[in-house]
Amino acid sequence: MNDDRPPGRSPRAKTGGAGRVRDPEQTRERILDAARDEFSAKGLSGARVNTIAERAGVNKQLIYYYFDDKERLYGAVLERAYRDIRKQENALDLDALSPEDALRRFIHFNFDYTVKNRYFVALLNDENLHKARHAKVNDRIPALQSTMKRTLARVIRRGLEDGSFRREADPVELYISIASLCYFFLSNRHTLSVIFNVDLLESDRIEARRDHVTEMVLSYLRSVPAAPPGQHKT
């Protein structure tokens, strides 16, 4: 705070008859919604606090009141995004399905989630531009994730046991590949559209892509490896 500023503010005109609305919970959520839209459209550096306030329909000072500054607002948006996807992932209940159906369920979830929540893709891209410095100071994010890694490891093991899978995939590598296949076509849809002169989000195309991704992952797990995974060349 600038403590040495002399008082100098002129008293402002009184408002008209309309009273103010007071609902701090809703105000906070509206700011987060507006911020999510603005940050995903323009990135942290390109987003404008004024625009966020306008989109939220609130006074700009409220953003500083609830979130301290732009960066912390961004961090709050990111955390809420992670919490949402993990909540939905944890609800998948993959252990109740056969290994192959579990994998299908997992892939379809990730694929459909990115298609429905494009903002998430844009936020992650931007967070990587900033070297994940907001995610790094958030304790809740890694904890949310490790359950999914273990779940995936169990699915792989169950598939090896019942013979539907024939290769012992590394769960981290597999997770990254599934995320890659589900994510990249959306994150890079604009440059890919320029290159291939197609609309990647046309609905038939999306469905074909989901099938393609599923086939690619399952055929990898079903096939006998040519060499042990993770073998090191020395």
Partner DNA sequence: GTCAGTATCAACCAAGCGGTTGAAAGCGTC
Partner DNA sequence: GACGCTTTCAACCGCTTGGTTGATACTGAC
Residue 37, CA atoms < 13 Å, CB-side half-sphere: 11
Q: What is the separation of C-alpha 3 from the centre of its chain, rounded to a whole number of angstroms?
A: 40
Establish if 191 lies at the interface with a copy of itself (CB under 8 A).
yes
Q: State the greatest distance between any 2 C-alpha atoms of the chain, in Å, as a whole number.
A: 79
Q: Is 12 in the site for a copy of itself (CB under 8 A)?
A: no
Burial of 103 (0-12, 13-18, 19+ CB in 10 A): buried
Candidates 15-23, 27-35, 152-160, 189-197 — which segment interacts with a copy of itself by CB under 8 A?
189-197
- Provide, rounded to whole angstroms, the least separation between the CB of residue 17 and DNA: 9
- What is the rounded distance in angstroms from the CA atom of residue 139 to the CA atom of residue 150? 19
Q: How many whole angstroms separate alpha carbon 214 and alpha carbon 107?
A: 7
The site string for a copy of itself over 13-42 (x = CB under 8 A, - otherwise) reads -----------------------------x
Phi, psi of 36, rounded to the nearest 5 degrees: -55, -45
Question: Judged by CB under 7 A, which stretch of 52-60, 113-121, 183-191, 217-225 contacts DNA?
Answer: 52-60
Residues that bind a copy of itself (CB under 8 A): 42-46, 122, 124-132, 135-136, 141-142, 145, 149, 170, 172-173, 175-177, 179-181, 183-185, 187-198, 200, 204, 207-209, 211-213, 215-217, 219-220, 222-223, 225-227, 229-233
